[in-house]
């Protein structure tokens, strides 16, 4: 069974630009979550989608948004990028009330 | 104060040693406890998943949860160089769904 797939693996953007990251969950998983990982803050929850609806949201500004499609694939968008948005963005999928399985992430660098 | 505290290490042990990794937490609502292993340039990989207090064993790995002390542990027996990675504890409550709270991770090196 294929794992969680995230694209692209690496991304370099400049301040003020926007970026869209993509995630394909494990087949059959309808819940998709996004996390930001930085050396200083560790892993922090961004949001969770289930059946195309946002079910939970972390403490991030409105510049961070996401969506989920009918096939459970998900995208997250960051607008007006700041230097502090440089991080590894991780997507995870799960069955209902089951542990999360993570992808290998998208490394975003903002210059 | 952070909800989950984990010693970041680094921790360096010889091959074959028993490794003990620990986390403490403050939120009594946490009911589900996980350990993830993360290799460099990879995403976290689920190692152990436990509910409430008790022990769980899987091969060389044993997870322990003591809810009365708000303390969880991961033991690795007969450690191997391939166990060298960052180990992350994570936890969540009944109503938090996929919103996990992570420790900052412990960097482990097993020397041949």
Encode pLDDT of B47-95 as tens digits.
Answer: 999 998 889 999 999 999 999 999 999 999 999 999 999 999 999 998 8
Task: Supply the pLDDT for residue A29.
Answer: 95
B45 contacts in A (CB within 8 Å)? 102
Q: Is B28 exposed, middle or buried (0-12, 13-18, 19+ CB in 10 A)?
A: exposed
A104 contacts in B (CB within 8 Å)? 41-43
Task: Supply the pLDDT for residue B94.
Answer: 85
> In Å, how far is A18's CA from the nearest CA of chain B?
23
Place of tokens 């993509």: A22
Contact A56 B98 (CB under 8 A): yes
- Give the count of Cβ contacts less than 8 A between chain A and B: 53
Task: Supply the pLDDT for residue B52.
Answer: 85
End-to-end CA distance of chain B: 37
Contact B99 A105 (CB under 8 A): no
Binning pLDDT at 50, 70 and 90, where does residue A81 land?
A: very high
Do the Cβ atoms of B1 and B96 come closer than 8 Å? no
Q: Is B102 on the interface with A (CB under 8 A)?
A: yes
Q: Is B31 on the interface with A (CB under 8 A)?
A: no
How many whole angstroms separate alpha carbon B26 and alpha carbon B71?
A: 9
* Whether the predicted pLDDT of B97 surpasses 80: no
What kind and span of H or E run contains A16?
A: none
């Amino acid at each position: 069974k294929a794992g969680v797939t995230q694209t692209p693996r690496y991304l370099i953007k400049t301040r003020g630009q926007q970026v869209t990251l993509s995630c394909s969950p494990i087949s059959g998983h309808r819940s998709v979550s996004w996390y930001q990982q930085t050396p200083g803050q560790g892993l922090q929850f961004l949001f969770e989608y289930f059946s195309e609806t946002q079910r939970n949201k972390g403490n991030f500004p409105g510049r961070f948004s996401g969506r989920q499609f009918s096939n459970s694939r998900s995208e997250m968008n960051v607008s007006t990028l700041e230097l502090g948005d440089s991080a590894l963005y991780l997507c995870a999928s799960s069955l209902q009330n089951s542990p999360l399985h993570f992808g290998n992430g998208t490394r975003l660098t903002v210059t | 104060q952070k909800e989950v505290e984990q010693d970041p290490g680094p921790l360096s042990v010889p091959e074959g040693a028993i490794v003990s990794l620990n986390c403490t937490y403050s939120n009594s609502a946490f009911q589900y406890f996980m350990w993830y292993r993360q290799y460099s340039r990879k995403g976290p990989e689920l190692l152990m998943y436990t509910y409430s207090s008790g022990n769980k064993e899987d091969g060389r790995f044993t997870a322990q949860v003591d809810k009365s002390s708000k303390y969880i542990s991961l033991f690795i027996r007969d450690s191997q160089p391939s166990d060298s990675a960052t180990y992350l504890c994570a936890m969540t409550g009944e109503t938090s769904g996929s919103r996990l709270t992570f420790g900052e991770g412990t960097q482990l090196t097993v020397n041949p």
